[in-house]
């Protein structure tokens, strides 16, 4: 579709729902806790992800959280 996109001269910041770093960190903390709880439960045979995949997912979430919480030192 080659429909033209209408551009408005006004800023649209008021209409955006901005996710702050603090809020994103809080949401990530909750997801990490939820994944840790799921890993503590017995294996579910119908699970979409294997235990190894869930462990990799958890490790990646923790690494991202830690990287963003550590201040950049120059």
Residue 72: the pLDDT is 66
Structural domains of the chain, count: 1
In terms of residue numbers, what domain contains 63? 18-69
Give CA–CA dist 42/12, Å, rounded.
Answer: 48
Rounded to two decimals, the pTM is: 0.67
Position 23 in a domain: yes
Residue 49: the pLDDT is 87
Position 2 in a domain: no
DSSP state of 40: H
Residue 12: the pLDDT is 60
Residue 58 burial by CB count (10 A; 0-12/13-18/19+): exposed, middle or buried? middle
Position 35 in a domain: yes
The 10s digit of each residue's pLDDT in 2-45 is 777 777 666 665 555 667 778 888 999 999 999 999 899 887 77
Position 3 in a domain: no
Region 46-54 average pLDDT:
86
Position 32 in a domain: yes
Position 43 in a domain: yes
Residue 32 burial by CB count (10 A; 0-12/13-18/19+): exposed, middle or buried? middle
Position 11 in a domain: no
Position 1 in a domain: no
Residue 73: the pLDDT is 55
């Amino acid at each position: 579709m080659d429909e033209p996109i209408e551009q408005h001269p006004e800023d649209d910041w008021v209409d955006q729902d901005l996710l702050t770093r603090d809020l994103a960190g809080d949401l990530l903390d909750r997801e990490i806790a939820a994944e840790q709880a799921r890993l503590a439960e017995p294996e579910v045979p119908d699970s979409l992800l294997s235990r190894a995949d869930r462990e990799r997912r958890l490790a990646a979430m923790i690494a991202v959280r830690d990287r963003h919480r550590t201040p950049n030192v120059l």
